Amino acid sequence: MLKIKTMQQRLSLFLLLPVAVLLLAMGLMIFLYVRNNLIAQWKNTAVLSLAHAAHDVDMRLAKPKDWMKMYHNTAGEPEADFIREWLIKQLEDVGGVDRVELVKLDKGFKAVSQLDRCILSPKAENCYMWRRGASRPQERAWMGMMDFERAEIADITLPRYDTLVEHETVSLSSDLLNKEGKAVSRLEVVIRFKYLIEGALSAAQSANERAFLVSEKGKVLACSIAEKTEETCYTDAVKAAIKDMQQEPSAGNILLPKDAPDEIVGFYKLKEAPWSLVVVAHKKDILAPLLRFRAIYFLILAGFLLFILLLIRLVAGRAVSFIRKVSDAAANVAQGHFDTLLPVAREDEVGQLIRSFNQMVLQLDERLRLKEALDLAMQVQQNLLPEKPPEIAGLDLAGASIYCDETGGDYYDFLSFSEWQGRVGIAVGDVAGHGISAALFMTTARALLRSRITQPGRLSDVMNDVNRLLCMDTSRTGDFMSLFLAVLDLRRNTIHWVRAGHAPGLVYDWETDSFEELRGEGITLGLDETRPFKEYEYSGWNRSKVLFIGTDGIWETENPQGDAFGMDRLRAVIRRHCHEPSGEIIRAITEDLAAFRQTKQQEDDITLVVAKVKPE
């Protein structure tokens, strides 16, 4: 039994063997994947090409059919001679139409329309042509004999050699029926077959592929092979495809005939004729690039494995010493020595390992510094929030913000100035998202609001100016925030407010046990500087009412089962604690939220403000 003693032997066995197996397996998977993709790509391209070619034939058939249907629509109209004459002329002008024949069936009378000449007997009583210069009375007399009650396109013939025009044609025919349902005449449109299939056999995508046009009974009508004989076209693959195609309900598909396993067949059925376009390709032609790649891949694989074997012998000895150095340096980092960096003396995987190790050490040091910076940012942001509510005679105010990260985008503020006698402003906002970017946006909005609200103007003017300034920045960043700005006037017992996409404020009256919502129109800040805001007023503020303003992190809090806290639970907490101070109401709400959330992590910032009249 071979004993493995050295690292070179271990690397040779435990690295080279798995690599060889892995590369072989990977090559096989790539081969199968590319093989399936090539076949799938050919299938998609073939179906699209067939559909396009079939659509072209259908369009050429649909034009005369549409005019024939318009002719049928004159059924039962005895005074429609002129219209029928015009429709016959339009049929003559359709591309590919050789002639239009109208055959009277009851007496054997036959009238023919052709572009340049009459093809039947030149006698006037047996031959009639619709063309310029024909006499109107004669036309009306003939058309008067051709009254019918109903008709529909009955058949399209197979291609046949027409001695009159000396090339193959197909005919669209329909019987014109009288009231008893008896055929009194037949309308036939003779079309050049070569015109119909012009370009249809181009569905073959390469010289090695073959395209066919076959009838529903399996007869080959045309093929793209130079030697155009039915024996040449009617191969085993086509026979098998026709057999499977007749049982296939879909309009187009790709078949893998059992009788011709080396070939792939695609078909598409025409809508306007009982024919189908078929294209046949050999699998080896489709997979030719992949077969060449497979041979090249095995040659490269053998050389690669030999190169790995030599490389293992060259680098195994030095690699061990470098790995030991990295291990010792990692132990120093674990003890907090972030100045431990290793010199990079190699450009191979070991050198990359050393570079990655040095980068990791630097990033760990940077992350620790960033953590300290985030802690400092959290302290700065917390200092921007009100340390305590302002002292307003007769008013009990309280507010709180609970962030889910070190910093957040929720914001509340109490606006009280010396010139505001008996009034206090309350602002509650919510920036989209949370974290550092939301905190910076919140700080900007706070500064703009505080600087503008001291200036003259209504609350709507304040919000318009703040929104306009924010939009100058958000046009590049896409940030936005909702804001509820209210001014509580104790002298007039009113609340004036403006909503900028924020949730409505709640006013609870414990005397009537009812809730009112402070609603109103207003778009979120930072989206559109042209949209004006509107100020609203609530009157009747008194000692029995509690004002609540919060962010959606409250009612959208979820428990481990995925249930939301909701507005009903929030209102129930306010109702139970309405007689307590504002700070106690906030404490009760936050405790209920924590109990409802249980062990689930807080996913959004939570901010709330409560205001009520102080009891005397």
Per-residue pLDDT reduced to its tens digit, 100-141: 887 777 554 444 443 333 333 333 333 333 333 334 344 434
Average pLDDT over residues 516-524: 93
What 3-state class would DSSP assign to 456? coil
Lowest mean pLDDT segment, chosen from 23-37, 155-169, 590-604:
155-169
Q: What are phi and psi of 271, to 5 degrees?
A: -90, -35
Residue 287 has pLDDT above 80, yes or no: no
Examine the fold and report which residue of 258, 286, 314 is the final residue of a domain before the chain moves on: 286
Ranked by mean pLDDT, which of 158-172, 183-197, 292-306 comes out on top? 183-197
CA distance 239 to 251: 18
User: Helices marked H in 99-215 — which ranges?
Assistant: 136-144, 193-196
Proportion of the chain above pLDDT 70, given as a percent: 77
What 3-state class would DSSP assign to 240? helix
Q: What are phi and psi of 425, to 5 degrees?
A: -100, 145
Residues 6 or more apart whose Cβ sits within 8 Å of residue 344: 351, 354, 355, 358
Sheet holding 494-500, edge to edge: 410-415, 423-431, 481-489, 494-500, 536-539
User: Within a domain: residue 22?
Assistant: no
339 in Cβ contact with 324 (< 8 Å) = no
Q: What are phi and psi of 272, to 5 degrees?
A: -95, -5
More confident residue, 614 or 163: 614
Average pLDDT over residues 217-241: 67
CB atoms within 10 A of CB 99: 24
Tell how far CA 435 is from the center of its chain.
Answer: 30
What 3-state class would DSSP assign to 207? coil
Show the tokens assigned to 83: 């219209």
Same domain? 435 vs 483: yes
Lowest mean pLDDT segment, chosen from 431-435, 509-513, 598-602:
431-435
Q: What is the pLDDT of residues 389-426, one digit of tens each?
A: 988 888 999 999 888 876 677 889 999 887 888 899 99
Same domain? 279 vs 342: no
Same domain? 227 vs 116: no
pTM: 0.45
* pLDDT band, very low/low/confident/very high, at 484 (cuts 50, 70, 90): very high
Same domain? 380 vs 483: no
Nearest to 113 by CA among 152, 141, 139: 139
CA distance 510 to 507: 10
Q: According to the model, what pLDDT value does residue 253 have?
A: 75
CA distance 221 to 124: 38
Residue 531 has pLDDT above 60, yes or no: yes
Round to the nearest angstrom and report the end-to-end CA distance of the chain: 98
User: Within a domain: residue 581?
Assistant: yes
CB atoms within 10 A of CB 45: 13
More confident residue, 522 or 113: 522
Same domain? 303 vs 323: yes
More confident residue, 264 or 453: 453
User: Within a domain: residue 28?
Assistant: no
Q: What are the E-state strand segments in 150-240?
A: 150-156, 160-162, 167-177, 183-192, 210-215, 220-223
More confident residue, 450 or 120: 450
Same domain? 441 vs 515: yes
* pLDDT band, very low/low/confident/very high, at 555 (cuts 50, 70, 90): very high
Average pLDDT over residues 251-268: 73
User: Within a domain: residue 419?
Assistant: yes
Q: According to the model, what pLDDT value does residue 145 have?
A: 45
User: Within a domain: residue 19?
Assistant: no
User: Within a domain: residue 11?
Assistant: no
Same domain? 592 vs 448: yes
Residue 532 has pLDDT above 90, yes or no: yes
Domain with 246, as residue range(s), is 200-286
Ranked by mean pLDDT, which of 186-200, 336-350, 483-497 comes out on top? 483-497
Same domain? 163 vs 97: yes
CA distance 329 to 345: 16
Lowest mean pLDDT segment, chosen from 216-225, 450-459, 558-567:
216-225
Residue 189 has pLDDT above 70, yes or no: yes
Average pLDDT over residues 492-501: 94
Give the H/E segment covering residue 539.
Answer: strand 536-539
Among left, alpha and beta (phi > 0; psi -120 to 50; other), residue 127 is beta
Q: What is the pLDDT of residues 34-55, one digit of tens each?
A: 777 777 777 777 778 878 888 8
Proportion of the chain above pLDDT 90, given as a percent: 25
Q: What are the E-state strand segments in 245-344?
A: 252-255, 263-269, 275-282
Nearest to 279 by CA among 226, 196, 222: 222
Same domain? 518 vs 411: yes
How wide is the angle at C-alpha 569 spanned by C-alphas 563 and 571, nearest 5°?
150
Tell me what percent of the chain is helix, strand and coil, each rounded to the nearest 5.
45, 25, 35
More confident residue, 26 or 557: 557
Show the tokens assigned to 548: 């609540």
Lowest mean pLDDT segment, chosen from 3-17, 83-97, 266-280:
3-17
211 in Cβ contact with 203 (< 8 Å) = yes
Ranked by mean pLDDT, which of 318-322, 347-351, 512-516, 526-530 comes out on top? 512-516
Q: According to the model, what pLDDT value does residue 273 have?
A: 82
User: Within a domain: residue 135?
Assistant: yes
Show the tokens assigned to 304: 């690669």
Q: What is the CATH number of the domain that holds 154?
A: 3.30.450
CA distance 198 to 202: 9
Average pLDDT over residues 268-288: 79
Q: What are phi and psi of 104, to 5 degrees?
A: -85, 125
Q: According to the model, what pLDDT value does residue 297 have?
A: 76
Residue 99 CA: distances (Å) to CA of 83, 102, 221, 545, 614: 18, 10, 22, 92, 101
Residue 517 has pLDDT above 90, yes or no: yes
Examine the fold and report which residue of 168, 196, 224 is the final residue of a domain before the chain moves on: 196
Residues 6 or more apart whose Cβ sits within 8 Å of residue 172: 61, 64, 65, 68, 153, 155, 156, 188, 189, 191
CA distance 116 to 99: 9
**Matching residue, tokens 């008893």:** 180
Q: What is the pLDDT of residues 574-602, one digit of tens each?
A: 999 999 999 999 999 999 999 999 989 88
CA distance 462 to 85: 78
**Matching residue, tokens 């431990």:** 340
Examine the fold and report which residue of 320, 354, 384 is the final residue of a domain before the chain moves on: 384
Q: According to the model, what pLDDT value does residue 161 have?
A: 67
Q: According to the model, what pLDDT value does residue 319 have?
A: 67
CA distance 270 to 263: 23
Q: According to the model, what pLDDT value does residue 577 have?
A: 95
Q: According to the model, what pLDDT value does residue 110 have?
A: 41
Same domain? 159 vs 220: no
Q: According to the model, what pLDDT value does residue 122 have?
A: 33
Same domain? 190 vs 204: no
Q: How many domains does the chain have?
A: 4
Q: What is the CATH number of the domain that holds 232?
A: 3.30.450.30
What is the DSSP annotation of 350-389?
Answer: HHHHHHHHHHHHHHHHHHHHHHHHHHHHHHHHHHHS-SS-
How wide is the angle at C-alpha 263 spanned by C-alphas 257 and 267, nearest 5°?
65
Side-chain-side CA neighbours of residue 538 (13 Å): 22
More confident residue, 546 or 28: 546
Q: What is the CATH number of the domain that holds 413?
A: 3.60.40.10
CA distance 93 to 60: 13
Same domain? 494 vs 438: yes
Supply the mean pLDDT for the chain.
78
CA distance 566 to 556: 6
Q: According to the model, what pLDDT value does residue 502 have?
A: 94
More confident residue, 395 or 31: 395
User: Within a domain: residue 41?
Assistant: no
* pLDDT band, very low/low/confident/very high, at 349 (cuts 50, 70, 90): low
Q: According to the model, what pLDDT value does residue 566 have?
A: 95
Nearest to 151 by CA among 186, 175, 180: 175
